[in-house]
Structure 1
Amino acid sequence: MSAIGLPLIIEFGGGAELLFDGKKRHEVDLPGEEWTLKRLLSWLRDNLLTERPELFMQGDTVRPGILVLVNDADWELLGEGDYKLCPRDKVLFISTLHGG
């Protein structure tokens, strides 16, 4: 029996893509079935983040100024890091941090 994965679409905007090799869209298939947003953040840090992790994460969550949307809904309405990801969810990270 083959392992089941979790297919997701992960997108970055507002400059956050610059921390992820300049790529705005990533289609990933995560191993296993049980994934929360908190676990996804750790996976992103360890697997896709290419520079300046302090601009994306603070501790085990996103830093203030990063909006997180799951299927166009604010993650705060979904339980933030405790939200259980579903196959083909679209997770969007938008930076509101801009230099002046």
Structure 2
Amino acid sequence: MDPNNTLRIELQFSGGMELLFDNQKMIKANVPAFFSTESTTEKHAATIGDLIGWIASTQLRERPELFIGPDGSVRSGILVLVNGADWELEGELEYELEDRDEIVFISTLHGG
């Protein structure tokens, strides 16, 4: 795969997550297929960990602390689905993105 390629990823937000993204429930995004490692210029295939950082820097409109946790992952209380499966079954942050993946972020915490 050419390092200049992008992946077409469908992002979905619900359970209140859409409020952080200008009320968008779905974003069809072109995400870089490769990211550089922090300590080197080597490139690696895009992972969900990379995607979360990319979303935070390009799509998130407000209150990043409600999306990103202290460890750089999504904060607790957000369910992440990869093509309909819990991301825990797919390797969480290490899952390598594929073209046309559907990634869903659902907040499970609600005020009352």
Query: Which of the five TM-score ranges fits, normalised by the shorter chain?
Result: over 0.9
Gaps of 5+ in 2: 35-44
In structure 1, the partner of 2:75 is 63
Count matched residues.
100
Structure 1 stretch 20-29 or stretch 32-41: which is displaced more? 32-41
In structure 1, the partner of 2:26 is 25
In structure 2, the partner of 1:36 is 47
- 1:98 aligns to what SS in structure 2? coil
- CA drift of 1:74 comes to 0.2
In structure 2, the partner of 1:98 is 110
Q: Out of 52, 62, 66, which is 1:51 matched to?
A: 62
CA distance in 2 between counterparts of 1:79 and 1:32 reads 18
Moved over 2 A (4+): none
Deviation track 1:43-71 (CA, whole Å, cap 9, x = no partner) reads 01100000111111102101110000000
| Cα RMSD, aligned residues only | 1.5
What TM-score do you get using the length of structure 1 for normalisation?
Answer: 0.94
In structure 2, the partner of 1:87 is 99
Question: What amino acid does structure 2 have at the position aligned with 1:49?
Answer: L
Query: Cα distance 1:3–1:54, how it changes in 2: closer, same or farther (>3 A)?
Result: same
Query: Cα distance 1:4–1:57, how it changes in 2: closer, same or farther (>3 A)?
Result: same
Gaps of 5+ in 1: none
Question: What amino acid does structure 2 have at the position aligned with 1:40?
Answer: L
Query: Cα distance 1:85–1:99, how it changes in 2: closer, same or farther (>3 A)?
Result: same
Structure 1 stretch 85-94 or stretch 56-65: which is displaced more? 56-65
- 2:31 aligns to what SS in structure 1? strand
Query: Cα distance 1:95–1:4, how it changes in 2: closer, same or farther (>3 A)?
Result: same
What TM-score do you get using the length of structure 2 for normalisation?
Answer: 0.84
